[in-house]
Structure 1
Amino acid sequence: MELRQLLHFLAIAEERHFTRAAAKLHLSQPSLSASIRSLEKELHSTLLIRNSRRVELTEAGRALLPAARRALSAVEEGQAAVDAVQGVLRGSLTIGCIQFLGVVDLPSLLVEYHHRYPGITISVIHDSVDSLMESIGTGELDLAIVDRPLDPRTAHMQALGSETLVLAVASDDPLAKQRKVSLEQLQSRDFVEFRADSSLRVRLDAVYAAEGLQRRICCEIDDIAELVKLVSHGLGIALVPPGPLEDVAGVVGVEIEPAIARDLVLATPADRPESPSAKAFLQLLSSQGNDIYRPNP
């Protein structure tokens, strides 16, 4: 089994299409097909099934996928480690994060990181907390910035900070004139909610259950910016971090009682040391006032 074969297999697994994978790898499609056939022959297993529209992984292909990712990641880490000894950082950094971070100014961090390490290619992936944590475990992500609740078994956790949720209401809503409202007051109102698999939604469901209250959900959406716009147009109200309300016309944030905290954490792999590119990012994050850099042994 050769590394180039694993690279070819991963490209197809990600693209789910031979033609797109071949273009990504700058190979001819016949050459790519021959490489996969050779890999399958060596493993005595069919890894991929083609149909008229896309490529699917067989059970053997799904089993190979995480190992192939780890193998290629190890090669990249080895090259990056040698570069680091020579005073040159190259390679890649893949960060996963939820849609709105609040207490962490990720754009500013990435700009500074790029200025310091222009040889590193940065990728930022937005997804649900569960998906990001799974990607930490499989090696697809170097680190992730997420909010609680989450499954801590696959990663090390470091607290980044906390913020208090506010009630987002349209500016012409009678609630907008109140300094503070209680959750109990809101049981007759329609709520616009973030996606059901989000940690924010799980957190709110837990708070309502603990208070013995219910809320009426009229709309679910997976983009927090669009959620705030819907609130501004009067579709409903929402419990959100305060940041997304900034500079949005027609919506205001009102204090909630009891207060609901949103905790942001940094997740790094529990089963392997950070790559040089990830260590450099964590050191930069610490230098910006977040005392979280603790290199894995």
Structure 2
Amino acid sequence: MELLQLKYFRTVARLEHMTRAAEQLHIAQPALSRTISRLEVDLGVPLFDRANRQIRLNVFGKAFLAKVESALSSLEEGKKEVMDMAGLERGMISIATSALNRLSPAVAAFRERFPDVRFRIKQIAPAETYSISELLEQGIADLGFGPVSFHKPGIREFPVLQTEVYLALPHGHRLEHQCSIALEQVADDPFIEYKIGHPFRQVNDEISRKAGIQRTIICDVEEPAALDSLVQAGLGVAFVSRCKGDEVTQYALLPIECPDNKRSFFVSWNETRYLSEAAREFQRFLVEYYEDKQE
């Protein structure tokens, strides 16, 4: 039994699809199938139920996967400890984030201080932000970063950034020169909004509910860049979050006359797993970085 077999098995077991697993592992599907077959021969039992070209993890496979996950996780933690012994400068940090646009400047600033620290970043679709906690639990990611507090046992989190929600209006809008805006003033305007399930959509829905308005949503988007471009094109107004000092020229930004219009971003980690010195240093750095930015 080889380490590579175990890594291949874990990927196939998670996806339960040989073709997708081969694509993710960047190997040919026949080679992957042969590797899994040899592993089953070594164990003396089938790990998957196969029917109509579909595979499903069976009772043997589920039991074996639990041990493989534990073994590979222990090896990965051992690797991190050894790298720590070599010093912070040679560390590796694995991050899962659904807010890459907010995280990227902090990563760049950290690498200026520690240029030899390597990053492995997994970008998560905003609507799947809650899956970050699963990656932390599985040991796939050291840290998570995003606009969601998970409230799960074993997952620690700390708010590092708070942004204020403004109303974005296209240039030429009848209200763009006001100092602030009451949402009742735009109750009949078309809104650009994030898709249902997006964490920002939940915040925006709550702001609208408290203001007593029901938005007319003409377009649902997934990314801030899409929302920005549609507002700039004059299709509607939208809620956007900004930090102090952020420069915006493509549309007008008005403060909302609402006392509860904040969005918080959290750094999260699994307190039951080993966290490298590089990851711990990046945790501390994020707190300092965003404090300075907001001041």
**TM band (smaller chain):** 0.7 to 0.9
For residues 176 and 91 of structure 1, do their structure 2 counterparts lie closer, same or farther at Cα, with a shift above 3 Å needed? same
For residues 290 and 173 of structure 1, do their structure 2 counterparts lie closer, same or farther at Cα, with a shift above 3 Å needed? closer
The residue number in structure 2 matching 1:241 is: 241
Residue type of the alignment partner of 1:220: D
The residue number in structure 1 matching 2:45 is: 44
**Would you say the 8 A contact 2:77–2:274 is kept in 1?**
no
Distance 2:58 2:249 in 1: 48
Distance 1:89 1:50 in 2: 50
The residue number in structure 2 matching 1:269 is: 270
* Aligned positions of 1:116-135 closer than 5 A: 116-117=116-117, 120-128=118-126, 129-135=129-135
For residues 181 and 289 of structure 1, do their structure 2 counterparts lie closer, same or farther at Cα, with a shift above 3 Å needed? closer
Question: In percent, how many aligned pairs have the same letter?
Answer: 25
What's the secondary structure of 1:134's corresponding residue? Answer: helix
**Would you say the 8 A contact 2:89–2:114 is kept in 1?**
no
* Aligned positions of 1:144-293 closer than 5 A: 144-148=144-148, 150-154=149-153, 155-242=155-242, 246=247, 249=250, 251-259=251-259, 260-286=261-287, 288=289
For residues 99 and 83 of structure 1, do their structure 2 counterparts lie closer, same or farther at Cα, with a shift above 3 Å needed? closer
Task: Give the Å deviation of 1:192.
Answer: 0.6
What's the secondary structure of 1:281's corresponding residue? Answer: helix
Distance 1:229 1:25 in 2: 35
Residue type of the alignment partner of 1:125: Q
With normalisation by structure 2, the TM-score equals 0.79
CA shift digits 1:66-121 (9 cap, x unpaired):
7644532321220221232243765742212223665883342353366142xx35
Task: Give the Å deviation of 1:133.
Answer: 2.5
2:48 is aligned with 1:10: no
**Would you say the 8 A contact 2:180–2:257 is kept in 1?**
yes
Distance 1:86 1:7 in 2: 26
Distance 2:50 2:281 in 1: 40
**Would you say the 8 A contact 2:193–2:220 is kept in 1?**
yes
Task: Give the Å deviation of 1:168.
Answer: 0.8
Distance 1:58 1:167 in 2: 49
What's the secondary structure of 1:197's corresponding residue? Answer: coil
Distance 1:287 1:104 in 2: 15
What's the secondary structure of 1:157's corresponding residue? Answer: strand
Unmatched tracts of structure 2, length 5 or more: none
**Would you say the 8 A contact 1:156–1:267 is kept in 2?**
yes
Task: Give the Å deviation of 1:190.
Answer: 1.2
Question: RMSD in angstroms over aligned alpha carbons?
Answer: 3.6
The residue number in structure 2 matching 1:140 is: 140
What's the secondary structure of 1:173's corresponding residue? Answer: coil
**Would you say the 8 A contact 1:242–1:253 is kept in 2?**
no
Unmatched tracts of structure 1, length 5 or more: 292-297
Moved more, 193-202 or 59-68: 59-68
The residue number in structure 1 matching 2:75 is: 75
With normalisation by structure 1, the TM-score equals 0.78
Distance 2:240 2:219 in 1: 15
